[in-house]
A and B are shown apart, each in its own frame.
Chain A
Amino acid sequence: MNDAVLKADNLQTYIGHHHILQGISFEARADAVTVLIGRNGAGKSTTLKTLMGLLPPSEGVIVYNGMNIQGKRPYEIARMGIGYVPEDMGIFADLTVEENFKVAKLKEDEATAGRLDRILELFGALGKFWHAPAGNLSGGQKQMLAIGRAMVNNISLLLIDEPSKGLAPIIVEALIEAINQIKEECVVVLVEQNFYMASAVGDYFHILDDGRIVHSGRMEALVDDEELKSRYLGISKSKS
């Protein structure tokens, strides 16, 4: 099954009077990680918020698993099986790690408990700080909590916004490993500025600039395209 799990067509999103997304179209294929890249302010986060229903688009179509989801409320979209990890991680700092998971869980069944076990296996630190306020976690642990929390329900699509932001290289390494495992369970759409991470997990890329997609393709092609990388990503020399 290689059809698109998610298909965005001509998304136009305004924030106040600012026309931020000016026609975003892309697909996220099953069995693949799709990476959205582009410089600061390009509209990557806005794209994810639009998909999630947090910033309803004024125009455009979003099809997820064959259903039109644009115009639906965020909670309806979440209940259809889309998990979301925002750029600021959206941790509930006053709640403990356990309570963060409790809020996230939509069901209390065996399947959910099984998924939680696997998440705690994947992110061991979370179990260690199970009863600690989530606000006390380190940056990397918070990121793990944000991702783990989003995966505790039966989701088929996970949207992650810049997970490597502000993390030490060794933790980025761990995140890459985690995402490579996560992609076995659900389709991942990743926003990532860190090209090392983007190329390590991504299969397809879309480059955003000024609210539009200016280039798309397979990740291997981008790794070799010095010109494209220096123009849109500010990478001068390839680092392999």
Chain B
Amino acid sequence: MTETILKRWDNELVIAGIAVLLLLPLFGMPPKTYLTLTIAGLAMGMLLFLVASGVSIILGLMDVLNFAHGALFAWGAYVGFSTFKLLEKWVQADSVLLNFGAFAAAIICAMTVVAVLGMVLERVIVRRVYGNHLFQILITFGATIVLVEMIRVIWGPNDDVMSVPLTFQGNWDVFDVIIDRYRIICILIGALVFGAVQLILKKTKLGLIVRAGVENRDMVQAMGHNIFLLFTGVFAVGAGLAALGGLAMSIFSLQVYPDMGSTYLLFAFIVVIIGGLGSVTGSLVGALIVGLSYNYVAYLVPWAAAGVNIIIMIIILLIRPKGLFTAGK
């Protein structure tokens, strides 16, 4: 009996347990600092989610380890960077509408360009190495080098300063808690994307086919669905989300540089492993855990910040070898 209850509430229990653990740092710092760090952590988590969800679905559905995801992320940032350059007046204008107009334009350009790039990548390169992880790692790693070199050729080899729309700058002061505006925007974007992806996966036929494919590729094919078309589509969506992540992250960190993808790719793989392959909810929960714990630990024990996520990953894998969530959720 208890076992069935545990099973039924499995995921809810996981989330509750994590929430309790994430409250612990409250004992080590003033509540206001905790709030500020929490918002920073949530924002970072949402950005990681954008990158990790693509990696996770591509791995879950197609069984493809895509190391080029980081380069796609950087491409998203650079396309956004150029869009902002083109719309400089809108970016600098003292108008919420124009600021958001520039942001929306950058999102659309970055996601479209990179989605097309992702489709080409899948068709030309990844399709040849389905079923072989070693070749996937090698060939997508090679693709990363090419994509990053292309960035150096097009945009130059040096760092650039990413401009930030005027509305996104500055803070709100809510009862003496300093809240960075752009962080709230990141949290909202992440929540919106999560909601949209969930809606598609749960409510549309295409989403159901993707979830079914994560569970059993062969069966989906044997039911008359062209899995290769599906793969290309999912790859394009994953690439688009990576681009959105790259754009959002570059505004957050105020810079773009050709190699920016590699750091975040490592984080994304940690998130995917924590959350469970092929699970979008898992990616979200994993990304929030990584974002929050990184921020808490960086404040409490600065020297441990870099390692904490790896430790969390190891602990979670010891308890649940397949990650927190099962595929398809």
Q: Show the binding face of A for B, using Cβ within 8 Å.
A: 52, 54, 73-75, 78-79, 84, 86, 90, 92-95, 99-100, 102-104, 106, 149, 153
With an 8 A cutoff between CB atoms, is B220 at the interface?
yes
With contacts A54-B218, A74-B218, A102-B205 known, is A92 near B224, CB below 8 A?
A: no
Q: CB distance A78 to B221 under 8 Å?
A: yes
Does residue B280 face the partner (Cβ distance < 8 Å to A)? no
Known: A95-B211, A103-B209. A90 touches B224 (CB 8 A): no
Chain B hits for A93, CB < 8 A: 215
Alpha-carbon separation in the docked complex, A84 to B225 (Å): 13
B interface residues (Cβ-Cβ under 8 A, vs A): 205, 208-209, 211-212, 215-216, 218-227, 326-329
- In the complex, what residue of chain A is closest to B210 when comparing beta carbons? A103
Smallest distance from the beta carbon of B154 to chain A beta carbons, Å? Answer: 38
Instruction: Tell me the complex Cα distance, A94–B216, Å.
Output: 11
Query: Measured between alpha carbons, how far is A4 from B190 in the docked complex, in Å?
Result: 57
Contact of B221 among A73, A104, A149 (CB under 8 A): A73
Which residue in A75, A78, A94 is a CB contact (below 8 Å) of B211?
Answer: A94
Contact (Cβ within 8 A) B222 A52: yes
- B224 close to A75 (CB less than 8 A): yes
- Alpha-carbon gap, A213 to B277, bound state (A): 42
Q: Do A54 and B221 touch (CB < 8 A)? A: yes
Identify the interface centre among B205, B219, B220, B328: most chain A CB within 10 Å of its CB. B219
CB neighbours of A94 from chain B (8 A)? 211, 215, 326-329
Chain B contacts for A102, CB-based, 8 A? 205, 208
Candidates A90, A99, A106, A153; contact of B219 at CB < 8 Å: A90
B329 contact set on A, CB distance < 8 A: 94
Q: Which residues of A contact B218 (CB under 8 A)?
A: 54, 74, 86, 90
A75 touching B221, Cβ below 8 Å: yes
Chain A nearest CB from B218 CB (Å) reads 6
Q: Is the CB of B215 within 8 A of A92?
A: yes
Q: How far is the CA of A103 from the CA of B326 in the complex (A)?
A: 20
Contact partners of B224 in chain A: CB under 8 A = 75, 78-79, 106, 153
Among A104, A106, A149, chain B packs the most CB atoms within 10 A around the CB of: A104
Given known contacts A92-B216, A93-B215, is B221 in contact with A99 (CB within 8 Å)? no
* Nearest CB in chain B to that of A54: its residue: B218
Query: Are A90 and B216 in contact, CB atoms less than 8 angstroms apart?
Result: yes
A92, B212: Cβ atoms under 8 Å? yes
Q: Given the known inter-chain contacts A94-B329, A102-B205, A103-B209, please indicate yes or no for A86 contacting B215, CB distance below 8 A.
A: no
The distance in angstroms between the C-alpha atoms of A153 and B222, with both chains bound, is 12
Closest to B227 in A: A75
Q: In the bound complex, how far is the Cα of B329 from the Cα of A100, in angstroms?
A: 15
Contact of B208 with A78 in the complex, beta carbons under 8 Å: no
Taking the closest CB of chain B, its distance from the CB of A6, in whole angstroms, is 16
Determine the distance from Cα of A102 to Cα of B209 in the docked complex, in whole angstroms.
9
Residue picked from A78, A100, A103, most chain B C-beta under 10 Å: A103
Chain A contacts of B220 at CB under 8 A?
103
Contact across chains for A74 and B222 when beta carbons are under 8 A apart = yes
B212 contact set on A, CB distance < 8 A: 92, 95, 99-100, 103
| Residue from the set A73, A75, A84, A102 with the largest chain B CB neighbour count within 10 Å | A75
